[in-house]
Chains A and B, each alone.
Chain A
Amino acid sequence: MRYTLLIALREFAENAKTKGFWIGIFTLPLLLGVSIAVSTKLAHSEPSRYFVVVDKSSAFAEPIGRSIEWEYQRSVLQALGQYVQENLRAGQQPEVNLATYQTAVDTFITAGGKDAYLPRLRPVLRGNAPEFKEPTRLFVRAELPKEIDAGASSDAILAGLRPYLLGERRIAVGGTEAPLFAALVIAPDAVDGATRWTGTEAIQYWSTNLAVNDLPELIRSALNAETRRRLYVARGVDAAKVREIEATYARLGTFDPGKAAGTETVSTSDRIARNVPLAFVYLLWMSIFTVMQMLLNNTVEEKSNRIAEVLLSSVTPNEIMMGKLLGIAGIGLTMIGAWLATVLIAAQLYHGAGAEVIGPAVDSVVASGLIPMFVLCFLLGYLIYAGLFLSIGALCNDMKEAQSFQGPLMLIMMVPLFTMVFVNRDPHGTLATILTWIPLYTPFTMMNRAAADPPILELVGAMLLMIATALLLLWSAGRIFRMAMLRAGSSGWRCCAPATVRSSPSWCSGFAAAAMRDVE
């Protein structure tokens, strides 16, 4: 055992001392942090996009403008809510409603917007709170270029706008120039034509950008609302009352019978916690994949550097193999320990948007036993894949040779990544059940299903099968490792050996027979 531990310690130290290991440890949380920061930053730094409206019906331009303004005020209220959350004095609560549902936004607009809310919020904010910064207006209506006659036909106006829409010319906006993002051309008969589904469209949206759907969606929703309002009025229905009624929502409580009595209500935290296994599956895959690379590299290094023969004069092939398994497992556990710790610490320190649900979600994950399950899945998955990768490493003389074996194995390893979302959505479905019973996929599938309480029989059965497979694979890896290690550094006798032993395609038959005679 002492020698196994010595080998394990060396394996651990050698990998832990490499820059790659620490880069690997910090890259994941760093990427996570950077992607959150970048997406937040990008959300705040989206440029304003300019569009023109040519409304020959005089019916829609105004409601569209109102709708876009309403949407902007909603984003201001949302930013205000986040600003207050980040700068709230401890123990204080704002007296105004900062939620962003329809009536709350209506109240915000009626009250006078941010200028009215900010003075009322200041008493609950920290003294050193920075100034509130309004979000950028994403969509701004611009005037038609001067050379285009607004009274001309729709076709003539469109022809005039074409160079602007194609980016050949820029539109004048508040003393500067900007590209024209879109043009909305509304025909004179649009009030009736809007609901006509044959012939030419009475309302046309022109833009070269097909990726940004927010503006056409906003316009579509404004058009619908205005068309319906007109129909209500035409049929003698009070449109204001309709709007009021439409702002009413029915209440549906969501409950989980699996939760303790009295706490069955499903909260946002619960929903996050329900999806956490997906993150764990990814983490599990990443950690197993990373340590397998290390295991393979180290094994091939010992073969290609001819270290195996010196080792074999001191320790048994089994001691070498067990030492490697332990050392690299230590590396893997250190890595996932560092990742989990980073995520947990970051979640505790995070005070941005959604912090009020992230904190409880993390607490519920910690309390749910998913972390011990994750460690168990890692260890069993590690042993299974280590059996395969050790065999490959032992059979190959250099990395090039190893990579040709590694390719198909990597494809097999990708399956849990491709299927994890489906398994998470239907944790007791056919796919989940089948994958659970395939030992190569059991760790990932069980991890994915862990939060959905899989049947205990399936859990225990699959675990036992996984343990049995791991033992079988390790046992055969041990034999392959032993044979291959004895072959290591043996070009001396390999070159003397018969061709069947030397030629790699038939190594299995020729070599195995020869080597086993040596070993037994």
Chain B
Amino acid sequence: MDDKVLELENVTKRFGDFTAVHGVNLTIPRGSIYGFLGPNGAGKTTTIRMIFDIIKPTSGRITILGASSAFDVRRRIGYLPEEKGLYKAMTAAATVAYFASLKGLSRKTAKQRAYELLERYGLGEFADTRIQSLSKGMGQKVQVICAVAHEPEFVVLDEPFSGLDPVNQQVLEQLIRDFAGRGSTVIFSTHVMQHAERLCDHLLLIAKGRKIFDGTVASAKAVIPRRVLISTESNIDPLAGLDGVAEIKPLGESPSAPGTKDWEIRLRGQTSAQTILERCFQAGIVLRRFDHSEPSLHDAFVALVGAHEEPA
């Protein structure tokens, strides 16, 4: 079995003079949870629409589950578009069953699956309620269930968390994990870094239609230098001589403790924060604060997008 579910080769999409997606290359391995990150208007939705063959790329090639068009493998893929909509007069169960049967499930199996999934993800009592009577969040959950009810090998969820409350966001995260746990591949686009950080194995970061990062969450975070933040009244010159210290930046007087100063110490390579702490003790540096937290994906996102937007 091919271990790649999706491959984009130099894919470009132009609308007149405007280039929405610019020469994107991407390979998504089977069984991964892949996050599509990027600021608004970055080209995420356009890329997803091209993946599903809803719009054609201006140039480049897309291979999905070994086929050149998503339409040839439409029964094996699932899709939640960014702009969500359902038939308002249909019930939740009928909606899920309808879309599942359009994906090839028999009507009986589709119906059975609909009730099963709605029950599992907390909508059991609303299964026979019309969509127009459901809240926006409930409707969105129904639509996510529609995208996965036929148990596709590969599913793309465009902004699945938008409009959901924190509890339902957790339910959706669980749904994505369950789904990936069965060996399926999930791509989802989001603005919320916490979701990507908690769920994704890999990330694709695009800005202004160009890929600016593609790799694991850890390698994205590695873009930001590791650092230690300290607050002290003492002279910190003894730290400057350490091999593992790349740079020491003064951050000014500490707002919480007058008379003390904040410092950012950027670490080199695999230098452990422990080394800095030991040196402080040896040199008699009195520490008011010692903070060695890992950079968040949010920091990485801001750094990566910021770097990309800086003039060359």
Enumerate chain A interface residues (CB-CB to B < 8 A).
Answer: 3, 6-7, 10, 14, 17-18, 301, 304-307, 309-316, 486, 489-493, 496-498, 500-501, 514, 517-519
Q: Are B83 and A518 in contact (CB under 8 A)?
A: no
- In the assembled complex, B55 has its CB within 8 A of some CB on chain A: yes
Instruction: List chain B residues, Cβ under 8 A from A316.
Output: 71
Q: Residue A498 contacts which of B16, B82, B89, B99 (CB distance < 8 angstroms)?
A: B16
Would A309 and B45 be within 8 Å (CB), given that A514-B16, A518-B55 are in contact?
A: no
Q: Check A313 against B74 for contact (C-beta < 8 Å).
A: yes
B103 at the interface (CB under 8 A from A): yes
What would 7 more interface pairs be, CB under 8 Å, given A312-B52, A315-B102?
A6-B101, A14-B89, A301-B88, A306-B83, A310-B80, A313-B74, A490-B49
Q: Are A493's CB and B99's CB within 8 A?
A: no
Which B-chain residue is minimally distant from A7 (CB atoms)? B102
B77, B83, B90, B107: the one contacting A14 at CB < 8 Å is B90
- A498 in contact with B46 (CB, 8 Å): no
Q: B85 touching A307 by the CB < 8 A rule?
A: yes
The closest CB in chain B to the CB of A304 belongs to B85
B88 touches A305 (CB 8 A): yes
Interface residue? B54 (CB, 8 A): yes
> Contact between B146 and A310 (Cβ–Cβ < 8 Å)?
yes
Query: What residues of B have a CB within 8 angstroms of the CB of A307 in the complex?
Result: 85-87
Out of A310, A315, A518, which one reaches B56, CB within 8 Å? Answer: A518
Give the distance to chain A from B302, nearest Cβ to Cβ, in Å.
Answer: 24
Question: Nearest-CB distance from B129 to chain A (Å)?
Answer: 15
Closest Cβ of chain A to B267, distance in Å, is 41
A309 to B83, CA, bound (A): 9
Q: Pick from B55, B70, B79: contact of A486, CB below 8 A.
A: B55
- Minimum CB distance partner of B82 in chain A: A492
Cβ–Cβ < 8 Å partners of A306 in chain B: 81, 83-85
Asked if B45 contacts A6 (CB within 8 A), the reply is no
| Chain A residue contacts of B90, Cβ below 8 A | 10, 14
A492:B16 contact, CB within 8 angstroms? no
Bound Cα distance A360, B44 (Å): 71
Checking B18, B77, B83, B101 against A489 with a beta-carbon cut-off of 8 angstroms, the contacting residue is B83
In the bound assembly, the distance between CA atoms of A486 and B71 in angstroms comes to: 14
Give Cα distance in the complex from A519 to B77, angstroms. 21
CA distance A203 to B54 in the complex (A): 86
A318 smallest CB distance to B (angstroms): 12
Select from chain B the residue with minimum beta-carbon distance to A319: B102
With A10-B98, A309-B54 already in contact, the answer to whether A493 and B46 are too (CB < 8 A) is: yes
State whether B46 touches A489 (Cβ < 8 A): no
Q: Is B41 an interface residue (CB 8 A)?
A: yes
Candidate in A305, A313, A517 with the most chain B CB atoms within 10 angstroms:
A313
Is the pair A18, B54 in contact by a Cβ cutoff of 8 Å? Answer: no
Which 4 pairs from chain A and chain B are nearest by CB?
A306-B85, A305-B85, A498-B16, A313-B79
Q: Give the shortest distance, in Å, between A323 (CB) and chain B (any CB).
A: 10
Say yes or no: A489 contacts B85, CB within 8 Å: yes
Assess the A514–B102 pair: CB atoms within 8 A. Answer: no
* CB atoms of A492 and B46 under 8 A apart: yes
CA distance A101 to B107 in the complex (A): 68
In the complex the two chains form, is B81's CB within 8 Å of A310's CB?
yes
Complex contact B56–A309 (CB within 8 A): no
Q: Is B20 an interface residue (CB 8 A)?
A: yes
B281 at the interface (CB under 8 A from A): no
**Distance in Å: Cβ of B164 to nearest Cβ of chain A:** 17
CB distance from A114 to the nearest CB of B (A): 59
> A493 contacts B45, CB within 8 Å?
yes
| B52 nearest CB across to chain A (Å) | 5
A505 CB to closest chain B CB (Å) equals 17
CB <8 Å contact, B74 and A314: yes
In the bound complex, how far is the Cα of B101 from the Cα of A497, in angstroms?
34
Q: Determine whether the beta carbon of A310 is less than 8 Å from that of B15.
A: no
CA distance A305 to B46 in the complex (A): 19
Given contacts A314-B74, A514-B16, contact A301 B46 (CB under 8 A): no
Query: Could you give, for residues 35-49 of chain B, a 1 whenever the CB lies within 8 Å of some chain A CB and a 0 otherwise?
Result: 000000100011001
